[in-house]
Homo-oligomer: A and B are copies of this chain.
Amino acid sequence: MPHPIVFDTQPGMTKPIRIAVLGASGYTGADLVRLALTHPNIEIAALSANSKAGLTMAEIWPHFAPYPGLPRLITSEAVDYASIDAVFGCLPHAASASLLSTLAGPKIIDLSADFRLKDSATYADWYGGAHPAPALLPGAIYGLTEYARDSLPGAALVACPGCYPTAVLLALLPLMAANAIGPDRITINAISGVSGSGRSLKEANLFPEIAEAVAPYAVGRHRHMPEMEQELSAAANQPVILSFTPHLVPMNRGELVTCIVETTRPVADLRAILQARYAAEPFVHLLPEGTPPATRMVRGSNHAVLNVFADRVPGRAIVIAAIDNLVKGSSGQAIQNFNLMFGLPETTGLQAAPLFP
Protein backbone atom coordinates (compact mmCIF):
# COMPACT_ATOMS: atom_id res chain seq x y z
CA MET A 1 0.00 0.00 0.00
CA PRO A 2 1.49 3.31 -1.02
CA HIS A 3 1.89 5.76 1.78
CA PRO A 4 -0.30 8.86 1.68
CA ILE A 5 0.60 12.26 0.33
CA VAL A 6 1.27 14.04 3.56
CA PHE A 7 1.22 17.46 2.04
CA ASP A 8 -2.28 17.64 0.64
CA THR A 9 -4.13 17.92 3.88
CA GLN A 10 -5.09 21.50 4.51
CA PRO A 11 -6.51 21.83 8.01
CA GLY A 12 -9.19 24.49 8.11
CA MET A 13 -9.95 24.48 4.43
CA THR A 14 -13.67 23.90 4.38
CA LYS A 15 -14.30 22.94 0.81
CA PRO A 16 -11.50 22.41 -1.69
CA ILE A 17 -11.92 23.20 -5.34
CA ARG A 18 -11.87 19.99 -7.34
CA ILE A 19 -9.81 20.15 -10.53
CA ALA A 20 -9.18 17.92 -13.49
CA VAL A 21 -6.00 18.21 -15.55
CA LEU A 22 -6.46 16.99 -19.11
CA GLY A 23 -3.24 16.03 -20.81
CA ALA A 24 -1.24 15.28 -17.68
CA SER A 25 1.39 13.36 -19.64
CA GLY A 26 2.95 16.48 -21.14
CA TYR A 27 5.42 18.85 -19.50
CA THR A 28 2.77 21.54 -19.17
CA GLY A 29 0.28 19.21 -17.53
CA ALA A 30 2.92 17.84 -15.22
CA ASP A 31 3.97 21.29 -14.12
CA LEU A 32 0.38 22.14 -13.40
CA VAL A 33 0.11 19.07 -11.19
CA ARG A 34 3.34 20.08 -9.45
CA LEU A 35 1.90 23.46 -8.59
CA ALA A 36 -1.53 22.10 -7.71
CA LEU A 37 0.00 19.62 -5.24
CA THR A 38 0.84 22.40 -2.83
CA HIS A 39 -2.00 24.78 -3.64
CA PRO A 40 -3.99 25.06 -0.41
CA ASN A 41 -7.40 25.24 -2.09
CA ILE A 42 -7.05 22.59 -4.77
CA GLU A 43 -7.99 18.95 -4.72
CA ILE A 44 -6.58 17.08 -7.69
CA ALA A 45 -9.67 15.04 -8.57
CA ALA A 46 -8.80 13.66 -11.98
CA LEU A 47 -5.85 13.37 -14.33
CA SER A 48 -6.24 12.36 -17.94
CA ALA A 49 -3.87 11.23 -20.66
CA ASN A 50 -5.45 9.01 -23.25
CA SER A 51 -2.22 7.39 -24.39
CA LYS A 52 -1.19 6.59 -20.83
CA ALA A 53 -4.53 5.77 -19.26
CA GLY A 54 -4.18 3.17 -16.54
CA LEU A 55 -0.70 4.19 -15.47
CA THR A 56 0.15 6.08 -12.33
CA MET A 57 1.74 9.50 -12.49
CA ALA A 58 4.84 8.09 -10.80
CA GLU A 59 5.14 5.57 -13.59
CA ILE A 60 5.40 8.21 -16.26
CA TRP A 61 6.94 11.09 -14.29
CA PRO A 62 10.06 10.49 -12.25
CA HIS A 63 9.53 13.48 -10.00
CA PHE A 64 6.18 12.21 -8.80
CA ALA A 65 7.82 9.11 -7.35
CA PRO A 66 7.37 10.61 -3.86
CA TYR A 67 3.63 11.11 -4.52
CA PRO A 68 2.10 7.69 -5.02
CA GLY A 69 -1.26 8.98 -3.86
CA LEU A 70 -1.95 11.02 -7.00
CA PRO A 71 -4.99 9.87 -9.00
CA ARG A 72 -4.26 7.27 -11.64
CA LEU A 73 -4.40 8.49 -15.24
CA ILE A 74 -7.64 7.94 -17.11
CA THR A 75 -8.93 8.96 -20.52
CA SER A 76 -10.42 12.40 -20.87
CA GLU A 77 -13.74 10.73 -21.67
CA ALA A 78 -13.67 8.88 -18.37
CA VAL A 79 -13.51 12.01 -16.23
CA ASP A 80 -16.63 12.61 -14.13
CA TYR A 81 -17.00 16.25 -15.11
CA ALA A 82 -20.10 16.69 -12.98
CA SER A 83 -17.93 16.48 -9.90
CA ILE A 84 -15.26 18.85 -11.23
CA ASP A 85 -15.13 22.58 -10.48
CA ALA A 86 -12.33 23.52 -12.85
CA VAL A 87 -10.75 21.89 -15.87
CA PHE A 88 -7.20 22.71 -16.92
CA GLY A 89 -6.77 21.85 -20.58
CA CYS A 90 -3.22 20.85 -21.49
CA LEU A 91 -4.11 19.11 -24.73
CA PRO A 92 -2.74 19.76 -28.23
CA HIS A 93 -4.49 22.44 -30.25
CA ALA A 94 -7.67 21.37 -32.09
CA ALA A 95 -8.03 18.37 -29.80
CA SER A 96 -8.39 20.83 -26.97
CA ALA A 97 -11.25 22.85 -28.42
CA SER A 98 -12.99 19.72 -29.66
CA LEU A 99 -13.17 18.32 -26.18
CA LEU A 100 -13.60 21.44 -24.10
CA SER A 101 -16.47 22.71 -26.22
CA THR A 102 -18.53 19.71 -25.12
CA LEU A 103 -18.20 20.40 -21.41
CA ALA A 104 -20.78 22.20 -19.34
CA GLY A 105 -20.36 22.96 -15.71
CA PRO A 106 -16.72 23.29 -14.84
CA LYS A 107 -14.87 26.50 -15.43
CA ILE A 108 -12.22 26.03 -18.07
CA ILE A 109 -8.65 27.24 -18.10
CA ASP A 110 -7.19 26.21 -21.45
CA LEU A 111 -3.45 26.18 -22.01
CA SER A 112 -3.63 25.25 -25.69
CA ALA A 113 -3.66 27.76 -28.55
CA ASP A 114 -7.29 27.16 -29.38
CA PHE A 115 -8.97 30.09 -27.70
CA ARG A 116 -6.28 32.73 -27.92
CA LEU A 117 -7.04 34.15 -31.36
CA LYS A 118 -10.24 36.10 -31.76
CA ASP A 119 -10.40 35.58 -35.50
CA SER A 120 -11.16 32.03 -36.57
CA ALA A 121 -9.78 32.71 -40.06
CA THR A 122 -6.41 33.62 -38.60
CA TYR A 123 -6.59 30.42 -36.55
CA ALA A 124 -7.27 28.39 -39.67
CA ASP A 125 -4.36 30.02 -41.49
CA TRP A 126 -1.79 29.33 -38.80
CA TYR A 127 -3.04 26.08 -37.32
CA GLY A 128 -3.89 24.31 -40.49
CA GLY A 129 -7.63 23.71 -40.19
CA ALA A 130 -11.01 25.16 -39.33
CA HIS A 131 -11.52 26.03 -35.69
CA PRO A 132 -13.44 23.24 -33.91
CA ALA A 133 -15.62 25.59 -31.86
CA PRO A 134 -15.62 29.11 -33.27
CA ALA A 135 -18.72 30.07 -31.33
CA LEU A 136 -16.72 30.04 -28.12
CA LEU A 137 -14.10 32.51 -29.34
CA PRO A 138 -15.88 35.77 -28.56
CA GLY A 139 -16.46 34.82 -24.94
CA ALA A 140 -13.00 33.48 -24.20
CA ILE A 141 -10.80 35.69 -22.04
CA TYR A 142 -7.18 36.13 -23.16
CA GLY A 143 -5.60 35.33 -19.84
CA LEU A 144 -2.49 37.46 -19.63
CA THR A 145 -3.34 37.90 -15.99
CA GLU A 146 -1.92 41.36 -15.47
CA TYR A 147 -4.12 42.64 -18.28
CA ALA A 148 -7.18 40.46 -17.73
CA ARG A 149 -7.85 40.92 -14.04
CA ASP A 150 -11.17 42.63 -14.42
CA SER A 151 -12.57 39.94 -16.68
CA LEU A 152 -11.40 36.88 -14.80
CA PRO A 153 -13.76 36.71 -11.78
CA GLY A 154 -16.80 35.87 -13.89
CA ALA A 155 -15.08 34.05 -16.68
CA ALA A 156 -16.16 30.59 -17.81
CA LEU A 157 -13.39 30.06 -20.35
CA VAL A 158 -9.90 31.50 -20.14
CA ALA A 159 -7.24 31.02 -22.80
CA CYS A 160 -3.79 31.21 -21.31
CA PRO A 161 -1.31 32.97 -23.60
CA GLY A 162 1.59 31.16 -25.21
CA CYS A 163 4.94 31.35 -23.49
CA TYR A 164 6.56 33.70 -26.00
CA PRO A 165 3.54 36.05 -26.13
CA THR A 166 3.53 36.22 -22.32
CA ALA A 167 7.10 37.47 -22.22
CA VAL A 168 6.77 39.77 -25.23
CA LEU A 169 3.47 41.31 -24.18
CA LEU A 170 4.59 41.97 -20.62
CA ALA A 171 7.57 43.79 -22.14
CA LEU A 172 5.82 45.77 -24.86
CA LEU A 173 2.17 46.30 -24.02
CA PRO A 174 2.62 49.24 -21.64
CA LEU A 175 4.97 50.96 -24.05
CA MET A 176 2.67 50.40 -27.01
CA ALA A 177 -0.40 51.52 -25.08
CA ALA A 178 1.44 54.73 -24.18
CA ASN A 179 2.44 55.30 -27.81
CA ALA A 180 6.03 55.29 -26.62
CA ILE A 181 7.13 52.79 -29.24
CA GLY A 182 6.22 52.52 -32.88
CA PRO A 183 4.06 49.78 -34.39
CA ASP A 184 6.51 49.13 -37.24
CA ARG A 185 9.69 47.13 -37.48
CA ILE A 186 9.39 45.40 -34.14
CA THR A 187 12.11 42.76 -34.13
CA ILE A 188 12.03 40.01 -31.53
CA ASN A 189 14.64 37.38 -30.97
CA ALA A 190 13.70 34.71 -28.53
CA ILE A 191 15.63 31.97 -26.77
CA SER A 192 13.85 29.09 -25.09
CA GLY A 193 14.58 26.01 -23.05
CA VAL A 194 13.74 22.65 -24.58
CA SER A 195 10.74 21.84 -22.42
CA GLY A 196 8.90 24.19 -24.75
CA SER A 197 9.13 21.51 -27.42
CA GLY A 198 7.10 19.11 -25.37
CA ARG A 199 7.73 15.48 -24.53
CA SER A 200 7.43 14.35 -28.10
CA LEU A 201 9.58 11.58 -29.46
CA LYS A 202 11.56 13.09 -32.28
CA GLU A 203 15.27 13.06 -32.96
CA ALA A 204 15.58 16.81 -32.64
CA ASN A 205 14.57 16.51 -28.98
CA LEU A 206 17.13 13.89 -27.97
CA PHE A 207 19.76 15.00 -25.51
CA PRO A 208 22.77 14.68 -27.82
CA GLU A 209 21.08 16.77 -30.51
CA ILE A 210 20.40 19.63 -28.12
CA ALA A 211 23.36 19.64 -25.74
CA GLU A 212 26.32 21.84 -26.67
CA ALA A 213 24.31 23.48 -29.44
CA VAL A 214 21.96 26.27 -30.37
CA ALA A 215 19.52 26.27 -33.24
CA PRO A 216 16.85 28.60 -34.56
CA TYR A 217 13.55 27.04 -35.61
CA ALA A 218 10.31 27.99 -37.33
CA VAL A 219 12.14 30.98 -38.80
CA GLY A 220 9.63 33.53 -40.03
CA ARG A 221 6.62 31.32 -39.33
CA HIS A 222 6.23 30.59 -35.61
CA ARG A 223 2.59 30.20 -34.54
CA HIS A 224 2.90 32.58 -31.64
CA MET A 225 3.23 35.53 -34.00
CA PRO A 226 -0.47 36.16 -34.73
CA GLU A 227 -1.20 36.09 -31.02
CA MET A 228 1.38 38.75 -30.25
CA GLU A 229 0.21 40.82 -33.20
CA GLN A 230 -3.43 40.59 -32.09
CA GLU A 231 -2.70 41.98 -28.64
CA LEU A 232 -0.16 44.58 -29.74
CA SER A 233 -2.48 45.76 -32.49
CA ALA A 234 -5.23 46.25 -29.94
CA ALA A 235 -2.89 48.28 -27.75
CA ALA A 236 -1.65 50.32 -30.72
CA ASN A 237 -5.07 50.80 -32.24
CA GLN A 238 -3.56 49.89 -35.59
CA PRO A 239 -2.20 46.77 -37.24
CA VAL A 240 1.12 45.56 -35.93
CA ILE A 241 3.23 43.09 -37.91
CA LEU A 242 6.38 41.86 -36.28
CA SER A 243 9.45 39.80 -36.84
CA PHE A 244 10.04 36.93 -34.45
CA THR A 245 12.85 34.37 -34.48
CA PRO A 246 12.93 31.71 -31.76
CA HIS A 247 16.01 29.65 -30.86
CA LEU A 248 16.39 26.50 -28.78
CA VAL A 249 19.30 26.25 -26.36
CA PRO A 250 20.45 23.46 -24.03
CA MET A 251 18.42 24.17 -20.92
CA ASN A 252 15.20 22.72 -19.61
CA ARG A 253 13.27 25.80 -18.58
CA GLY A 254 13.45 29.46 -19.25
CA GLU A 255 12.70 31.92 -21.98
CA LEU A 256 14.21 35.25 -22.87
CA VAL A 257 12.95 37.71 -25.46
CA THR A 258 15.04 40.56 -26.84
CA CYS A 259 12.83 43.13 -28.54
CA ILE A 260 14.25 45.91 -30.71
CA VAL A 261 11.67 48.67 -31.06
CA GLU A 262 11.48 52.08 -32.67
CA THR A 263 10.98 54.99 -30.32
CA THR A 264 11.37 58.75 -30.19
CA ARG A 265 11.57 58.75 -26.42
CA PRO A 266 14.63 58.45 -24.21
CA VAL A 267 15.15 55.22 -22.38
CA ALA A 268 14.40 56.93 -19.08
CA ASP A 269 10.85 57.56 -20.27
CA LEU A 270 10.39 53.94 -21.22
CA ARG A 271 11.68 52.91 -17.81
CA ALA A 272 9.26 55.25 -16.13
CA ILE A 273 6.32 53.78 -18.05
CA LEU A 274 7.28 50.21 -17.15
CA GLN A 275 7.99 51.17 -13.55
CA ALA A 276 4.59 52.82 -13.16
CA ARG A 277 2.79 49.91 -14.74
CA TYR A 278 4.44 47.12 -12.77
CA ALA A 279 5.37 48.67 -9.41
CA ALA A 280 2.49 46.97 -7.64
CA GLU A 281 2.59 43.69 -9.51
CA PRO A 282 3.59 40.65 -7.47
CA PHE A 283 5.09 38.75 -10.41
CA VAL A 284 6.44 41.34 -12.85
CA HIS A 285 9.61 43.20 -11.95
CA LEU A 286 11.50 45.99 -13.67
CA LEU A 287 15.17 45.44 -12.85
CA PRO A 288 17.55 48.20 -11.75
CA GLU A 289 18.95 50.32 -14.54
CA GLY A 290 21.62 48.43 -16.50
CA THR A 291 20.86 44.95 -15.16
CA PRO A 292 20.02 42.57 -18.00
CA PRO A 293 17.19 40.09 -17.36
CA ALA A 294 18.31 36.48 -17.26
CA THR A 295 16.36 33.28 -16.97
CA ARG A 296 18.24 32.20 -13.84
CA MET A 297 16.40 35.03 -12.05
CA VAL A 298 13.05 33.32 -12.43
CA ARG A 299 13.63 29.57 -12.84
CA GLY A 300 10.82 27.48 -11.41
CA SER A 301 8.85 30.55 -10.34
CA ASN A 302 5.97 32.61 -11.67
CA HIS A 303 8.07 35.77 -11.83
CA ALA A 304 8.90 37.81 -14.90
CA VAL A 305 11.82 40.26 -15.03
CA LEU A 306 12.17 43.12 -17.48
CA ASN A 307 14.50 45.88 -18.49
CA VAL A 308 15.04 48.41 -21.24
CA PHE A 309 18.26 49.63 -22.82
CA ALA A 310 19.38 52.21 -25.35
CA ASP A 311 20.18 50.77 -28.76
CA ARG A 312 23.29 51.87 -30.64
CA VAL A 313 21.07 52.70 -33.62
CA PRO A 314 19.43 56.08 -32.91
CA GLY A 315 15.66 56.03 -32.58
CA ARG A 316 15.53 52.52 -31.19
CA ALA A 317 15.49 50.80 -27.82
CA ILE A 318 15.98 47.24 -26.62
CA VAL A 319 13.41 45.76 -24.26
CA ILE A 320 14.26 42.39 -22.71
CA ALA A 321 12.11 40.06 -20.63
CA ALA A 322 12.72 36.68 -19.02
CA ILE A 323 10.28 34.11 -17.65
CA ASP A 324 10.12 30.41 -16.88
CA ASN A 325 8.29 29.12 -19.94
CA LEU A 326 6.51 26.38 -17.97
CA VAL A 327 5.42 28.60 -15.08
CA LYS A 328 4.60 32.22 -15.95
CA GLY A 329 4.65 31.09 -19.57
CA SER A 330 2.19 28.29 -18.97
CA SER A 331 1.07 26.46 -15.83
CA GLY A 332 1.84 29.16 -13.30
CA GLN A 333 -0.12 31.74 -15.20
CA ALA A 334 -2.95 29.20 -15.48
CA ILE A 335 -3.02 28.90 -11.69
CA GLN A 336 -2.83 32.68 -11.39
CA ASN A 337 -5.90 32.95 -13.60
CA PHE A 338 -7.63 30.16 -11.70
CA ASN A 339 -7.07 32.00 -8.43
CA LEU A 340 -8.83 35.09 -9.73
CA MET A 341 -11.64 33.09 -11.34
CA PHE A 342 -12.37 31.50 -7.96
CA GLY A 343 -11.95 34.60 -5.80
CA LEU A 344 -8.68 33.52 -4.20
CA PRO A 345 -5.68 35.76 -3.58
CA GLU A 346 -3.79 35.95 -6.86
CA THR A 347 -0.53 34.60 -5.48
CA THR A 348 -2.02 31.52 -3.79
CA GLY A 349 0.10 28.46 -4.48
CA LEU A 350 2.61 30.47 -6.51
CA GLN A 351 4.85 31.79 -3.78
CA ALA A 352 7.88 29.55 -4.43
CA ALA A 353 11.00 31.62 -4.94
CA PRO A 354 13.13 30.90 -7.99
CA LEU A 355 15.37 27.86 -7.84
CA PHE A 356 19.00 28.81 -8.26
CA PRO A 357 21.41 27.28 -8.90
Chain A residues with CB under 8 Å of chain B are 3, 6-7, 27, 30, 34, 37-38, 58, 61-67, 184-185, 187, 189, 191, 193-195, 199, 201-203, 205-217, 219-221, 225, 241-245, 247, 249-254, 256, 258, 260, 279-280, 282-283, 285, 287-288, 291-301, 303, 305, 309-314, 316, 318, 320, 322, 326, 347, 351-357
Contact = CB atoms under 8 A, between A and B. Distances in A.
A352 B352 contact: yes
Given A38-B352, A191-B191, A243-B311, A258 B300 contact: no
A354 B214 contact: no
A251 B214 contact: yes
B249 A250 contact: yes
Given A194-B207, A199-B206, A311-B220, A66 B214 contact: no
15 contacts: A3-B280, A7-B347, A37-B351, A38-B352, A63-B298, A64-B353, A209-B357, A212-B254, A215-B256, A216-B294, A220-B318, A242-B312, A243-B316, A243-B318, A326-B357
A353 B63 contact: yes
A296 B209 contact: yes
Contacts of A357: 27, 194-195, 208-209, 211-212, 252-253, 326
Contacts of A301: 63, 66
A203 B213 contact: no
A208 B252 contact: yes
A225 B3 CA distance: 33
Interface centre among A61, A189, A293 (most CB of B within 10 A): A189
A207 B210 CA distance: 7
B213 A254 contact: yes
Contacts of A292: 215-217, 219
A40 to B, nearest CB: 10
A312 B236 CA distance: 19
